[in-house]
Every structure is written in C-alpha cells, then in structure tokens.
Structure 1
C-alpha cells in the first residue's frame, strides 16, 4: 500500500468501512488553508523536511482539501520565534525544536531533549506509550499550543571547536553556540553559551565571534561547512541523545479542526518522525567519512568533561524541581522510564551493537570482505 493510500485509510477508514461513496466523504472534508513556519532553512533538507513531510502527507490524504503551506525560517518570522508566531496567531502551526524556548520556562525542553536524557527509541517509547505525550500536551496547552512529535535526529555529535579540548580547563571561557538546557549545563563548567540560528553559525565561527558550535550531525554539519573553520569534531553529543522535533499547533485552531483532520495530523506527524530518523541514519555514515577525508579531526570528549557535565546536569535538574512547578511530574516520568529503557538496551541492543561494531573495526563485515 502506498503512503497516500495508507494515510487516507488510517484517518478516513471508519467512514469508508460504512460504504460511503467517495463524493460523500469528500463533502465532509472542508477546505482549510494553514501556514506553517519552520525554524530551519530549506538548505537543511532533512531537518526542514520534517515539517514539509507533514504538510505533504496531509495534502495528499485529503486531495488538497487540507492545505498547509510551509515557510522556511526567516520568511515569516526568524527561526527561533516560530513558536511565538503560533502562540500569537500569526500562523496556525510551526515546525521547530521545543528546547529553543527554555527562556519561557525550562520545562519546554522536555518535549525536545535534555542533557543526559533519553535516546531516540526511548523518547518515542515514553511519548507514545509512557504517557509523555499527554503530560507534555497538558503543559504546552497552558501556553496555547498543541504538541505533535514530528522528526528525530537521533544521537547528535558534540560540536565543532576551533581548538582541541584535552581537559575541563580547556572549556573555560569558550564562546559556544549551544541551545536549550545544554547551555545552562555548559555555563556551570565555564563555557559562555550563545544562541545562534543554524544559518548564522558558520559566519560566527569564521569571524571568531564564537569559538565552538554544535548543530546536529555529519550530514547537516557537512552542508554547513563547519570543518573549514573549526576542525575539531567532538563526540558524543551528551546533551542530545536524541532531538525530537515537533509541530506546535495553535490550541484554538487545533480545537476547531474536524476530528478526522486531527487524526490525520497525528498520523502524518508520526510518519514524519520515522522518516527523519531513517534518513539521518542513512546519510550520516557517508557524510562522516567524507568530513574526515576533508580534514575534520574526530575527538572523543575527555571523561573529565563528561563526568563534570553529567554532575552539573543532575544539579540543575534538582534545582528545577524546586523552582519550576511543571518540571517535576514530567521529568520524573521520563527518568523513571529512562532507568528501565537503558537496562533493557544494555541487555539487548547494546550487546548486539558492540559485537557488530567490533566486527566492523576488525574489517570482518561482509561489505568489507569484497
């Protein structure tokens, strides 16, 4: 079954099962035109593509009756103001990263990612089966928004640095582009966090106004050319074991949608969530190899840095429990599942991955024998 037919069946199947003729179904699909503003430029086709995919799936499934026009960051509002534009009714919806808005409240980050949080599979499991989606929508609903997960980058890289990091002392005073709660954690170990939109990172590194920057991973980072101005490429991206992108829909607009359109948006967002992760998993390996061939210097963060930032993150979360009334219940739910998730992964996924990675390192995988 093709995607268009699946989406139609998934959202309109109950009507079709009663034997309604196609014209009758079409009459029940009102003409709706919305605008979606993205936080990302079109040149970053994978991450921008999450919002574009949602719009495409909805348009195809309704034969154009529900039309969502997507605008890149900066075309209507700057990328980091996408959620604000939805809240104030400038647009009906946006595609963004929830942690961009921690200035409103740190709790916003829980719908995107927090340092030393869940990985992609864990986040999806918690959202869809662990009650996370309902808890987050209760929180975002207070802010006039409905939340729909719509893409994931998977575990990210740890950023580009103009100079090598050999110890925690080397982090002191660095001006680093880093978003979300990761900036607050980095601040506790001496880094000066900077909020810079994706399209402005390269010139900021080139001019030396920042010393380091994190973005996503090899595929996007290669497109942005960071290796040309900051050659040291660090891993792991401990602040983003996943990054759940999302669509925020204006709550009043969401409430006014026909139920079938709500179901369609939910289905389309889930499809985009899966699509983005698969695309990154396919494209990142080749991009990483090419980056290294072009001079990128891969480096693992020293254990001293990882341990210090982990401790700083746990300290921050403890403080947020006391200062942010919305934080505790959602965070506690996420962390309770995290303990179970990583135990299960340690037994199954990690053991298998470690064995296969050893075979890859030894040159023993089938493709390496050809």
Structure 2
C-alpha cells in the first residue's frame, strides 16, 4: 500500500468512527483490526471493511475486487448465519470527508452485520468455564447437517497438498524468529509424510464447499442453535475441502486449550451425526495443518508495522504456541486400544449408556440402531421401518459395525 493510500485509509477510518457517519446508532464506535479487515463496532451493528492489501493468499486491492468479496462474504455466510449478515453498504467521500450516510463518490464497501454479544461466543464461554459438552454436541450436529447439504465441488485432494506446500513457502521468513529452523523442518517433513500415507483415503473423500475457518471465536450460542460466522470468502481453495478439515479446526482449538478429551468428544459426536468414521486417520494431519496456518497468520500480524507493540508481542507469542502445537499434534499419544460392548433388551437404554461411556472415556461411539438408520437412509431422529430389522439387515448392520 502506498503512503498516500495508507494516509487516505487512516482519514477514512477516523471519519467513520464519528457516530454521525454510520447508518446505525453508535454511541462510541470501536475499531478493531486484523491482517485482512478493519471492523467498526457500533451499538448493535458491525461494519467490516476489507484492507486494500496483497498478502499472497488474499488480494483486496482494487475497489471492484473489494465489492466482489464483500458480496461473496454476504452470500456464503448467510448459509450458516442468515440473520447476522444484513447487507453490503458503500463508503462515500464528499467535501466533508468520508461517511456511509451522506452520499458522494463511492470509495469503498463494508459488510453490514448484526453485532453479536461477545459473552455468547464459544471462545468466551470456554474461557469462563461455560462451554459444556452439550454445546459441542449441538455444534457437531449442525456442522454435520451443513456439510451433508454443502455443494460438492470439483477440486481434488491435490489442492490440500498445494496448500500444505504454500504454508511452508510463506513461512520461510519466520524461521529463526517465530520458530526454529529445526521445528520448521520437522513439521514440514512429518506433514508431507502423513499426507503421502493418507493419499488414497483423502482421494476417496468428497470435497465440499465448506467454511474454511471454523474457530471457536466464530461460533456463538445465543439460543439452542449455534451461529457460525466468518467463513473464508477470499480464496475458494481454502473453503473447498474435505469436511473433516473444518472439524479439525475445533479439534485443534480444544487441544490448544489443554482439553484433548473435549476434542475427542466433539469428533465423536460429529462422526456419529455424519456417519463418517473414516475421518479419524486424517485428524492428526488436518489439525496440525490448521495449527500451522494459525501460526502463519499470526506471523503476518507481527510483520505489520502499523500494528501497535502490544499486538506484536501477543501475536508473536500466539504464533510460537501454534507452531509448537502443529508439531505436537503430529505425534499424539497412543493408548492401549479398548473395546466396550453394551447389550440388552430393546429400549433398555443401550445407546444412552454407551453414549455416556464414550463421553467420559472419551471414545468412538458406535450404535447398532444408528448404523441401521444410516443403511436404510432414515434420519436419526425418526424410527426405522420394520424391514430394517429383518435377518438380512441385521447381518448388514453387524458387518458394518465390524468394518468400523
């Protein structure tokens, strides 16, 4: 960004922080910045502007480019949060300066959102000890439903390998600063080894138009239904992926917070709701990849000369933590395998008991009745038809349970 452009951006932000220049009530607007956005928080509204910069993996230079990606952000995020994403508003410049209210020459665009209460964010709830396994289960079910209906896209599993290599190219400058040369090389070697070992499995899985950035701070619980915001809009390759890559975000976050048992419970519930047990061999690689991406992005903020010193310090610490986690996730502990079988009469509580055991251990939960419903194409909340219990189907259910 040129000095003149940076100066104009600062002038624009200064003017937009005046309440009279916003199209919504704002007693004392607040500005927050990320590596890609400037976010203005009003009383009940949010206005998100895209920074006119090129970071390699995103390029928001050009007014028409920002217009396009504002509308993409609106379209894509309305899939999971339709009442949060309200529209796209222009930023005007006239003789009095910049505003979103007076009209004039259009110089930028902002995504208009309903402001969510931070006390309802999953990250805040976690830090305050209010994020329960019930919340994780509801999130897993919603995500499984979203991924089941998401558009199947044509990208192959090779796109993941491209992103893997891109990560290491974009972090070469961070070696010796935010992570050691040895750690960088160990992570690179191990991720590529596991990617090679799982090539056939990854190639067999569907690629969906998913979320691409499913972190705890992007999940809110205003009521029973989770709200998921801030999906990736700037590069389809980051969003078009194996659904398990979205699941890996939240599993990674639980590991980072020292709660591996919560990570396993979330995976358990997602695998149960989506009928996807094949994701387990991929989780170490996918979660490590996601951790490395967060370390990389934190490093970009460290390199931003406009960021204040306290932000530099916090993001440098965050980058180092994520790089350490990326390596640790590739070598998870391998406890002795255990199998617990629960049997009993019809409607005696087998599924309830086994689900509670799976939560407390934690462990993968397999239920014969759930497998039966998947095999006959019946939603889990509905009863299976009579023919689902005949001898032939009972054999299929047992075979599928053994396969899993």
* Common topology (TM > 0.5): no
TM-score (norm 1): 0.28
The structure number with the bigger radius of gyration is 2
